[in-house]
C-alpha cells in the first residue's frame, strides 16, 4: 500500500518539481494539492508535462487539521507556513520548504547528510535553503580545520527567485548580466552560520540561466594541506553518500542540473602557505536544493528507502 503526500503551495517552481517526483515515486501517491491562485484547475491544465487530472483545491489554515495525508509538504513563501502549522494536529507529519522553521530547534533541520537519524524520528522537518544546502555540504568536512571566517561566492539560476516577477527573475535585466544582491545578512548566510555553528560570509548572485547553483568557497585552514590531502578529506567524509559526488575537477552546473545530486571539487591550495584553500560546489536549486531533498525527507520520515524515487 502506498503512502500519501499532500502539497500546499503548488504554484511555484519547487512545487512543480516535487509533483513531478511524486508522480514517478514507486511507494507514494499524491493525496491532494492546494493553491489559492490555481484552485479549481487540474494539475494537468497548469503543468501539461504532469499527466494528472487531480483538481487543485484551496485549503485554508483552518481546514488543514481536518485533511488527511501521511505527509503534508508546505511549499509557500516565507512567513506563511506558520499560519498553517498553528492549526495542524500534532500527529500530522509536516515538511516546510520555506525558511520559517530553519532556526526553530523544536523542528529537525532536513539536511539528510547531516541529520538523517533525527529526520527518521521527526514529524516536523524544515527543508534547508538551496544556497544553504550547497555551502553546508562544501564546508562540513572542513569544520574542524577552519581558521577564521570562510567566504562563499554563489551564483544561482533565476528560478531561485520564484515565479513572482522581480528584478532577480527579469529576463531583460539578467540578459548578459550578473546581479549581486543581499550582500550582507542574507537569510541563507544566517542559516548556514546557525546550522554549522561557525560564522560564514555569503555573497549571492543571480544569472540569466534558469536552474542550478555554483558556489566557490574560499577559506583558511589551521594547518597546511596539499590538494591531494584536501581531496581525500572530502572523499572520506562523503564516501557513503549516494547523492554527493567528490571530484578533482571543478564541478559545472550542467553536470548536476536536472538531477538530485551535488558535486564538490576543484580543490585548490595556495602553495605560498598551504593554508589558504578554495573549492567549488554545484547542485540543482530546484532539486537537491529543494524538491528532491524534500523527497529524501519524506522517505526518511515515512521509514522507506531514502533514495526511492531518486535513483536513475
Residue with cell 489554515: 61
The radius of gyration computed from the CA coordinates of the chain, to the nearest angstrom, equals: 19
Instruction: Decide if 56 contacts 33 (C-beta within 8 A).
Output: yes
**CA 234 to CA 232: how far, in whole Å?**
5
Long-range contacts (CB closer than 8 Å, 24 or more residues apart) made by 118-122: 119/297, 119/300, 119/301, 120/300, 120/301, 120/303, 122/301
C-alpha grid cell for residue 34?
492546494
**CA 72 to CA 66: how far, in whole Å?**
12
Q: Judge whether 130 counts as a catalytic residue.
A: yes
Query: How many other C-beta atoms lie within 10 A of the C-beta of residue 310?
Result: 22
Q: Is 174 helix (H, G, I), strand (E, B) or coil?
A: helix
**CA 246 to CA 141: how far, in whole Å?**
12
Q: What's the helix, strand, coil split of the chain in %, to 5?
A: 30, 25, 45
Q: Which entry of 19, 30, 130, 283 is annotated as an active-site residue?
A: 130
Sequence-separated (6 or more) residues with CB below 8 Å from residue 80: 74, 98, 100
Which positions are catalytic? 130
Amino acid at each position: 500500500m502506498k503512502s500519501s503526500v499532500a502539497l500546499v503551495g503548488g504554484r511555484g517552481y519547487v512545487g512543480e518539481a516535487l509533483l513531478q517526483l511524486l508522480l514517478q515515486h514507486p511507494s507514494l501517491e499524491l493525496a491532494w494539492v492546494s493553491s489559492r491562485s490555481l484552485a479549481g484547475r487540474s494539475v494537468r491544465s497548469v503543468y501539461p508535462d504532469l499527466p494528472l487530472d487531480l483538481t487543485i483545491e484551496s485549503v485554508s489554515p483552518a481546514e488543514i487539521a481536518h485533511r488527511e495525508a501521511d505527509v503534508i509538504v508546505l511549499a509557500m513563501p516565507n512567513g506563511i507556513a506558520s499560519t498553517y502549522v498553528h492549526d495542524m494536529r500534532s500527529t500530522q507529519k509536516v515538511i516546510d520548504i520555506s525558511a520559517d522553521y530553519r532556526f526553530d530547534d523544536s523542528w529537525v533541520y532536513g539536511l539528510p547528510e547531516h541529520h538523517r537519524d533525527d529526520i527518521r524520528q521527526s514529524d516536523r522537518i524544515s527543508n534547508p535553503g538551496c544556497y544553504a544546502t550547497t555551502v553546508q555540504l562544501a564546508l562540513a568536512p572542513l569544520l574542524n580545520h577552519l581558521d577564521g571566517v570562510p567566504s562563499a561566492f554563489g551564483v544561482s539560476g533565476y528560478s531561485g527567485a520564484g515565479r513572482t516577477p522581480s528584478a532577480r527573475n527579469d529576463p531583460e535585466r539578467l540578459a548578459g548580466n550578473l546581479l549581486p544582491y543581499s550582500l550582507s545578512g542574507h537569510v541563507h548566510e544566517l542559516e548556514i552560520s546557525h546550522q554549522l555553528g561557525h560564522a560564514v560570509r555569503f555573497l549571492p548572485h543571480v544569472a540569466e540561466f534558469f536552474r542550478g547553483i555554483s558556489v566557490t568557497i574560499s577559506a583558511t585552514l589551521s594547518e597546511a594541506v596539499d590538494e591531494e590531502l584536501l581531496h581525500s578529506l572530502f572523499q572520506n567524509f562523503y564516501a557513503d553518500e549516494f547523492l554527493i559526488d567528490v571530484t578533482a575537477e571543478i564541478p559545472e552546473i550542467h553536470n548536476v542540473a536536472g538531477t538530485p545530486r551535488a558535486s564538490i571539487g576543484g580543490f585548490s591550495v595556495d602553495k605560498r602557505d598551504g593554508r589558504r584553500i578554495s573549492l567549488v560546489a554545484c547542485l540543482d536549486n530546484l532539486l537537491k536544493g529543494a524538491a528532491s531533498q524534500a523527497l529524501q525527507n519524506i522517505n526518511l520520515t515515512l521509514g522507506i528507502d531514502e533514495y526511492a524515487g531518486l535513483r536513475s
